[in-house]
């Protein structure tokens, strides 16, 4: 089973629109076809971002976000990264690389192509949701 790290922006998108992030989260993660890898730091970011008031504009966003977070807490594989990196321009993104390295993840799925402009970190491919859905699943 593939191990993936999903950036927070992909989770947000999965709750707002029915595009590639939605397909990945609902048809692969929740269906148990891929293993989501998380750390305490990433879970904290998921919770903080998904609770932002600006998302109230989207119908049932908070109800669906709460259900998704409960699923992740119960079913995702939790890792504790043993290294601290300082590679990214946005230092919050270092935790994604740290987690991917610790988990030996197959993929990082992110919509942040500005900061994640390189194709891989160690053994982990970095792909957009569209590329993951079309080429990697």
Range of the domain at 122: 3-136
What burial class does residue 117 get, using C-beta atoms within 10 Å of its C-beta: 0-12 exposed, 13-18 middle, 19+ buried? Answer: exposed
The domain that holds 69 is classified in CATH as: 3.40.50.1010
For residue 98, give the H/E element and its range: helix 94-103
Tens-place pLDDT, residues 102-133 = 999 999 999 998 888 889 989 999 999 999 99
Give the per-residue pLDDT at 108: 97
> How many residues are present in the chain?
137
Give the per-residue pLDDT at 116: 86
Residue 16 CB neighbours (<10 A) = 16
Total domains in the chain come to: 1
Tens-place pLDDT, residues 1-29 = 999 999 999 999 999 999 999 999 999 99
Both structure tokens of 77: 């594989």
């Amino acid at each position: 089973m593939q191990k993936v790290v999903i950036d927070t922006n992909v989770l947000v998108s999965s709750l707002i629109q029915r595009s590639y992030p939605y397909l990945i989260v609902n048809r692969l993660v929740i269906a148990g076809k891929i293993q989501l890898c998380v750390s305490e730091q990433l879970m904290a970011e998921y919770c903080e971002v998904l609770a932002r008031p600006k998302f109230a504009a989207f119908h049932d966003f908070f109800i669906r976000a709460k259900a998704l977070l409960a699923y992740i807490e119960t079913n995702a594989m939790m890792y504790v990264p043993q290294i601290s990196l300082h590679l990214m321009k946005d230092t919050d993104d270092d935790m994604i690389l740290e987690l991917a390295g610790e988990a030996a993840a197959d993929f990082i799925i992110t919509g942040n192509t500005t900061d994640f402009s390189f194709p891989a970190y160690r053994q982990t491919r970095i792909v957009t949701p569209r590329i993951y859905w079309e080429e990697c699943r």
